[in-house]
């Protein structure tokens, strides 16, 4: 099998242009997919941290229920005030 010089001279440019276009399209698609994956991972991390903080506050509240509630806890760095009915005077 042989290919003549003129076929290579005419065809190669179009093959290279096609490869370039496919590369650009692939980069755009991959960028969008990676962006979505990053957004999903970030959302999952935030949900996990929020759930952990919530559970920490609930566990603390249950541990001091019926006491004087002299100590306090935080939720994402914000101090949490338990209801007065939760604590003994």
Between CA 6 and CA 31 the distance in angstroms is: 38
Between CA 89 and CA 66 the distance in angstroms is: 9
pLDDT score at 89: 65
Question: pTM value?
Answer: 0.63
* pLDDT for residue 11 is more than 80: yes
Integer-rounded Cα radius of gyration of the chain: 31
Instruction: Calculate what percentage of the chain has a pLDDT beyond 70.
Output: 97
pLDDT score at 25: 94
């Amino acid at each position: 099998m042989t290919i003549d010089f003129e076929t290579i001279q005419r065809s190669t440019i179009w093959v290279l242009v096609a490869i370039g276009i496919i590369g650009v399209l692939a980069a755009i698609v991959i960028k969008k997919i990676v962006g979505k994956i990053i957004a999903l991972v970030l959302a999952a991390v935030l949900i996990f941290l929020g759930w952990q903080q919530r559970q920490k506050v609930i566990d603390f509240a249950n541990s001091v229920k019926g006491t004087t509630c002299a100590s306090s806890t935080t939720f994402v760095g914000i101090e949490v005030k338990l209801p007065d009915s939760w604590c003994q005077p």
